[in-house]
Amino acid sequence: MERTLEPELMDTEDEASSYDAMDNSAANTAFVKRITELGFRGRVLDIGTGPGHIPLLVCDALAEVTVVGVDLAQHMLDYAERHRLQSPHARRIEFQLADAKGLAFETATFDGVFSNTILHHIPEPLSFLSEARRVLRPDGALLIRDLYRPDTPERALELVDEHASSASAQQRELLRASLHAALTPAELRELADQAGLGDAKIQIDSDRHMSLQIRSL
């Protein structure tokens, strides 16, 4: 099926509250496990941090890591900051308002860059991937995980039923729209190569998730 874009920002109070309340614990745990396997260390960047759940888990798992989380949605960052202040890792985490398509950080600033299910929100993903490559140090680790687009709308609805059966109608619609907005693995491979990420591997993680990743040297 054709890619159907959804709004780039989820920046109302209702959207941020609904997203913060979603139970993504299993997927988040798997994501952080992959981060540890790829050898993330030092100062790392979370692009599209949303309500800031992943940085907290990363700091739980990796004692020496510090995390900068960025997002373009201020309401999401408001939730992220509340979570940070309640965390024992508050001093190791900071959140900033920033556009993933044009980051203000200097080139080769971070030992690791990760992003979880944000890519499908970007209308022009090449700019996102190019910025991720630019700010990553040459020997750094990368993990960009996202949904991948099913072949048909019917398959997208099946995935919503399988993975969001107990969710609210709004949350189910968010997942359905996100599946329609996602890239395919072939599209991601082509864009990654154009962004200078030809050394990154694409891995299919589940019936709906894929990862673009580089292991730290």
Q: What is the CATH number of the domain that holds 56?
A: 3.40.50.150
What average pLDDT values come out for the chain (217 residues) when binned by 10 residues?
Answer: 86 78 86 98 97 97 97 95 96 97 97 96 96 98 98 97 90 92 98 98 96 95
Residue 27 domain-assigned?
yes
Q: How far apart are CA 145 and CA 139, in angstroms?
A: 20
User: What secondary structure letter does DSSP report for 73?
Assistant: -
Q: Which residues span the domain enclosing 136?
A: 13-214
Residue 196 domain-assigned?
yes
Quick one: pLDDT at residue 167? Answer: 86
Q: Which of 195-198's residues contact partners 24+ apart within 8 Å by CB, and which partners?
A: 195/126, 195/129, 195/130, 195/132, 195/133, 196/130, 196/133, 197/129, 197/132, 197/133, 197/142
Which stretches within 7-140 are classed as H helix?
13-21, 25-37, 53-61, 74-85, 125-135
Residue 199 domain-assigned?
yes
Q: pLDDT tens digit string along 90-117? A: 999 999 999 999 999 999 999 999 999 9
Q: Nearest-CA neighbor of 188 among 153, 143, 148, 142?
A: 148
Residue 5 domain-assigned?
no
Quick one: pLDDT at residue 191? Answer: 98
Residue 165 domain-assigned?
yes
Quick one: pLDDT at residue 2? Answer: 94
For residue 43, list its beta bridge partners. 66
Residue 4 domain-assigned?
no
Angle at 76 between CA 72 and CA 80, to 5 degrees: 115
Quick one: pLDDT at residue 22? Answer: 78
Quick one: pLDDT at residue 170? Answer: 83
Quick one: pLDDT at residue 14? Answer: 81
Cα→Cα distances 152→32, 158, 169, Å: 30, 10, 21
Please state the domain count of the chain.
1
Quick one: pLDDT at residue 15? Answer: 79
